[in-house]
Amino acid sequence: MKLILLGAPGAGKGTQAEKICEKLNIPAISTGNILRAAVKDGTEMGLKAKSYMDAGQLVPDEVVIGIIKDRLNDDDCKNGFILDGFPRTIPQAQALLDSGVDIDKVIDIEVPDEAITKRMSGRRVCSKCANSYHIEYKKPKVEGICDACGGELIQRKDDAPQTVLDRLVEYHKMTEPLKGFYENLGKLKVVEGQEDVADTTKLVFAALED
Ligand code: AP5
């Protein structure tokens, strides 16, 4: 199955992508994680992306379109994939459509802005493997340490309160119009993402089968 997860920053796309990945055994592709890894490695792409990401703005379309085109050619994407964080603008969605990739479903996870800002302050991510946790809703077994690799858990730079607000403004302006784009293609499924993680997962799985 070829899926897109849409939703505001912090709506739970990465969290639900992990659950779908386990259920369907298809890779979850997060443009955010790919870009953060490039920033950490100091690659040319990372240097280009860093200032946009730190400011809560979108990285230019040509950069992320290139990333996704390369990644979708990998062998592990042959039986399907989950796109988490792509597309995020109409030109990105159009580029995906024009490249002939036939998306089966687009799941939009809806969470009000107030709930997002509250959630983001509690998110912690692994400094080594990028696994994501929450100080209240998804605690690691040992405080401050990643369950998967033992790496140190840190707060993402773009989870600072003002940057979260800037990312929400960018989301409403640039990404929200994608709902109409995919609704017109008959691909859009909307789920409420305000429930706890397990209940949201049930709604996401129901949307997959719908
Ligand atoms: P990216 O990393 O994609 O960030 P994002 O879309 O803003 O999404 P997040 O990773 O912040 O949140 P999420 O929806 O995955 O939520 P999560 O599951 O972690 O992108 C970062 C930056 O990269 C962008 O700002 C941009 O600059 C650039 N970029 C990336 N893609 C791009 C593109 N296509 N074009 C241009 N630029 C691009 O959950 C959040 C927290 O809440 C976690 O702590 C989690 O444990 C908790 N949580 C999740 N679900 C629940 C629940 N149901 N109840 C309670 N807590 C929950």
DSSP letter for 58, please: P
ipTM score: 0.95
Per-residue pLDDT, 66: 93
Percent of the chain surpassing pLDDT 90: 94
Report the candidate in 169, 152, 164, 153 with the shortest Cα–Cα distance to residue 120. Answer: 164
Which pLDDT does position 112 carry in this prediction? 96
The mean pLDDT of 75-79, rounded to a whole number, is 94
Examine the residue annotation and report whether 88 is marked as an active-site residue of this protein: yes
Q: Given a cut of 90, is residue 47 above it in pLDDT? A: yes
Give me 81's structure tokens: 């994939």
Check: CB of residue 47 under 8 Å from CB of residue 58.
no
**Quick one: three-class SS letters along 154-182?**
ECCHHHCHHHHHHHHHHHHHHHCCHHHHH
Average pLDDT over residues 127-155: 94
What pLDDT does 165 receive? 95
Is 87 annotated to bind a ligand? Reply is yes
Q: What is the pLDDT of residues 96-131, one digit of tens each?
A: 999 999 999 999 999 999 999 989 999 999 999 989
Yes or no: say if 52 and 59 are a contact pair by the CB < 8 Å rule.
Answer: yes
Contact (Cβ atoms closer than 8 angstroms) between residue 167 and residue 70: no
- 210 band by pLDDT with thresholds 50, 70 and 90: confident
pLDDT tops 90 at residue 195: no
DSSP strand pairing (28-30 vs 105-110): unpaired
> What's the DSSP call for residue 141?
S
Ligand 1 centroid – CA 19 distance (Å): 15
User: Residue 3 contacts by C-beta under 8 Å, 6 or more apart in sequence?
Assistant: 20, 26, 80, 81, 82, 83, 103, 104, 105, 106, 107, 208
Beta bridge partners of 124: 133
- Average pLDDT for 33-39: 94
Q: How confident is the model at residue 68 (pLDDT cuts 50, 70, 90)?
A: very high
CA-nearest of 104, 102, 69, 111 to 86 is: 69
State the DSSP string of 1-35. -EEEEEESTTSSHHHHHHHHHHHH---EEEHHHHH
Pocket test for ligand 1, best of 6, 15, 51, 174 (most atoms within 8 A of CB): 15
Report the CATH number of the 2-112+160-209 domain.
Answer: 3.40.50.300
Instruction: Judge whether residue 146 has pLDDT over 90.
Output: yes
Instruction: Tell me which H or E stretch contains 134.
Output: strand 132-134
Q: Which of 54, 70, 132 to mutate to test the pocket of ligand 1 (most atoms within 8 A of CB)?
A: 132
Distance 166 CA to ligand 1 centre (A): 14
